[in-house]
Structure 1
Amino acid sequence: MLTIGPNEFILKADLMVSLRGLFRGSLLAASLIASLPAFAEKVVVTDVLGRKVEVEAPVQRVILGEGRQMYFVAALDKDAPFKRVVGWRDDLSKADPDSYKAYLARYPEIAKIPSFGGMKEGAFDIEQAIALKPDVLFLNVEAKVASDEASLVEKLASVGIPVAYVDFREKPFENTEPSMRLIGKLFGKEAIAEDFIAFRAAEIAKITDRLAKVQNLKKPVVMMERAGGFSDDCCMSFGKENFGKMVEIAGGRNLAADLIPGTFGTVNAEAVVAANPEVVIITGGNWGAYVPGGAWVGLGPGNDMVEARRKLAALAMRPAFAQTQAVKNGRVHAVWHQFYNSPYQFVAIQEIATWLHPELFKDIDASATLKTLHERFLPLPYEPGYWVTVERQ
């Protein structure tokens, strides 16, 4: 029988104690390292305009050239969506007051975030931006002309502040994914960005894959009116991009596709009457800050659907629409305008698809998709109010 002497026993016991101490020390060191913020390092990213931009990442301080860029910030920084935001344009509270109020109720500190006017309006305060010492300024591509005229990029570069252009509005189906990847890299949230991109692609594929299997698909002609009721004019619309593209992806024919050369434009009422669209879709939002008491359809989180439906019915009776197939057959709808300027366009595509091909997509529930988006990626709970249909006459 093998025996262990007292000296050997003591040595083994000391060794075990030492190993336990080393293990505990390693765990403590690992936990301390994990709790420390990631060290910033220079990274080079390519923005949606093809510009090489050098930034110290992960960024800790950002300025949003548009307040509605919170739509993408929130999707990446769900737990603390405003932790990096040191300045933003003042448009979220005006263009989407319902979302702003919801954020304000949960994060009251946002009332103190310094705000700017718009770049295109010449109201962006460069000196104020420099004083905030951001790690990066995000601008939408539509601000490029105005920023060039103001030499903004050069002025900020001279004090070490980089500018990165993103796009969810002009060519969203070309630029949403690269924009999210760029922002994810700068935030140190690449995995979340890829998760979001995969979720978005899968939800769009639920529509496109099914449409691709239909032989001789009949695509209804759709009049997509932009911000109906915002003014007395009719009819602002979309060309081959943005909501115009969403209509095509959802299996429709955008009436204005060949009438508007760019992303945004106007179709005269006579052209709408002549085309006799089978479906009319109007974008709506809460624009009380711009047009108090206007005829616009109030849509967005928590809005009054009875009032929205009443306003939509009134807009449907304008001369451009009153005698169309769409009105006669009860195929007049409204959808939240801000889907046009966020990475959430896939939700609108699903709802539009159910309007254009109700039998083909009777199992598609865009509300459920929007709820899942909120649960997985967004800091606020889901509230209904993003679309409405007029009662059949």
Structure 2
Amino acid sequence: MRRIRAAFTAVIAVLVLWVPMALADESQAPITVTDIAGREVTINAPVKRILLGEGRQLYLIASLDKEDPLSRVVAWRNDLIEADPATYTQYLQAFPKLAKLPAFPGQENGLIEIESTIVHKPDVVLLNLEAMRANEDANYIEKLAELKIPVLYIDFRHYPLKNTEPTIRLLGKIMGREARAEEIIAFRHAAMARVTDVIARAKPERPRVFIERIGGYADDCCLSFGAENFGKYVELAGGHNIGSDVLPSTFGQLNPEQVIAVNPEHVVVTSADWEAYVPGGHWIPLGPGADPKETHRKLEWFTTRDAYTDIAAQKARNFHGIWHQFYNSPYEFFAVQQLAKWFHPELFADLNPDATFAEYHRRFLPIPYRPGYAVSLSGSAD
């Protein structure tokens, strides 16, 4: 009996030592990563508590963690609710607990509520690259570092073709979803190549394109993009973005006389449902499930702007509307495919951007695909 007790005690002792070790294999461990700003940051990974400095960061979080993207999110900025209400509704229907997720208003310059951040005790705070200057001026990063709360900068907006894939890899690494991240990147490569390979072979004449940025959000004309973001998408799709000739940075403004002088052959309006910001405005309510008759009706108004008087695009009715959030998401492959079909319909007759985006939803997102991200007047009667 004593031998049995001794053996039992020994087994218990081994289990006492082994169980914490086994659990440790499932727990977090410190890793050092480099964020999009080039900062080396040490994080306990895989992260279990993420604070989203912008709600639209959910686009990528959900792609990496399709089963339950909210399981790691402890708080978020409320911009997705206001800037993309249709997508928010989809996620709310799929995950009703989203209604109880703490949300904070944040600021346009990217500053976060530091008190709220401390209360939620995140493993990491995700901030967009453009927030870097404001947070440095406010010493937010140092204040959070004193509390062992690391911050990572990511970017889909300023240099999306350069920074989106590093951002996907970065979040894949800290979430323990590295293989998933590579699957997303491979999908994006294939989707983009369906346009860029054709353009490289055919070398078509590039039509002049003007992009009206945030159409209907403000009365100002003519907000646009320089050589980055949608300006780059236009070039990849076989067009020539006239803003690239004038604007020195990603975002800027042309005057109507400049637009008329260049005589663009296509006008592309980026817009969305901005009822929360500009009630009853001229914005086009593009996004999942948008009514095509309503988006077509609201796009018509843009043909009447003074900046487009007698330009080639107006005469040919080559006016197009596209979901503004492609400027700030990992989904820009849809925008490139759709622009290519508008600029070179004969080269891309068999390309179906909706089918591509539907496949992305099926493989990577927890919500079903609903068309409504683009509208065009091309081919319609006057």
TM-score, scaled to structure 2: 0.92
The count of residues paired between Structure 1 and Structure 2 equals: 360
Q: Is residue 328–residue 392 contact of structure 1 (8 Å, CA) maintained in 2?
A: no
| Structure of larger gyration radius | 1
Q: Distance in 2 between matches of 1:55 and 1:327?
A: 53
Q: 1:255 aligns with which of 242, 252, 275?
A: 242
Superposed displacement of residue 111, structure 1: 1.4
Equivalent residue runs for 1:287-366 within 5 Å: 287-366=274-353
Query: Residues 66-105 of structure 1: matches in 2 within 5 Å?
Result: 66-105=54-93
| Paired residues of 1:167 and 1:175 also in contact (CA < 8 A) | yes
Which residue in 2 is equivalent to 1:225? 212
Shift in Å at residue 188 of structure 1? Answer: 0.3
Instruction: Report deviation, 1:98.
Output: 0.7
**1:37 Cα deviation from its structure 2 partner:** 8.1
Look up the match of 1:139.
127
Measured after TM superposition, the shift of residue 305 of structure 1 is 1.4
Query: Secondary structure of the equivalent of 2:307?
Result: coil
Alpha-carbon shift at residue 121 of structure 1 (Å): 5.1
SS at match of 2:245: coil
Give the equivalent residue in structure 1 for 2:263.
276
Give the structure 1 partner of residue 17 of structure 2: none
- Residue 177 of structure 1 and its aligned partner are, at CA, apart by 0.6
Could you tell me how far apart the structure 2 residues matched to 1:251 and 1:302 are?
A: 28
Residues 74 and 120 in structure 2, CA contact (< 8 A), matched pair in contact too: yes
Cα separation, 2, equivalents of 1:330 and 1:337: 21
Q: Which amino acid aligns with 1:118?
A: G
Q: How does 1:1-393 map to 2 (within 5 A)?
A: 38-120=26-108, 124-215=112-203, 217-390=204-377, 391-393=380-382
Cα offset for 1:330?
A: 2.2
- What root-mean-square deviation, in Å, do the aligned CA atoms of Structure 1 and Structure 2 show? 1.6
2:94·2:366 contact (CA, 8 Å) conserved in 1? Answer: no
Gaps of 5+ in 1: 1-32
Give distance in 1, aligned partners of 2:97 and 2:132.
Answer: 30
Q: Is the 8 A contact 2:111 2:135 kept in 1?
A: no
Runs of 4+ with deviation above 4 angstroms:
119-123
In the superposition, the TM-score normalised over structure 1's length comes to: 0.89
Structure 2 gap segments, 5+ residues each? 1-21
C-alpha distance in 1 between matches for 2:96 and 2:56: 17
Separation in structure 1 between the aligned mates of residue 148 and residue 39 of structure 2, nearest angstrom: 16
Q: Supply the AA of the counterpart residue of 1:340.
A: Y
| Alignment deviations for residues 143-184 of structure 1 (CA, whole Å, 9 cap, x no partner) | 111111111110000010100000000000000010000000
Q: Post-superposition shift, 1:253? A: 0.3
**110 and 236 in structure 1: CA distance in 2 versus 1, 3 angstrom threshold:** same
Shift of 1:38: 2.8
Q: Contact 1:119 / 1:143 at 8 angstroms: preserved in 2?
A: no
Which deviates more, 341-350 or 205-214? Answer: 205-214
CA distance in 2, matches of 1:199, 1:37: 31
Check 1:299–1:120 CA distance in 2 against 1; reply closer, same or farther (3 A cut): closer
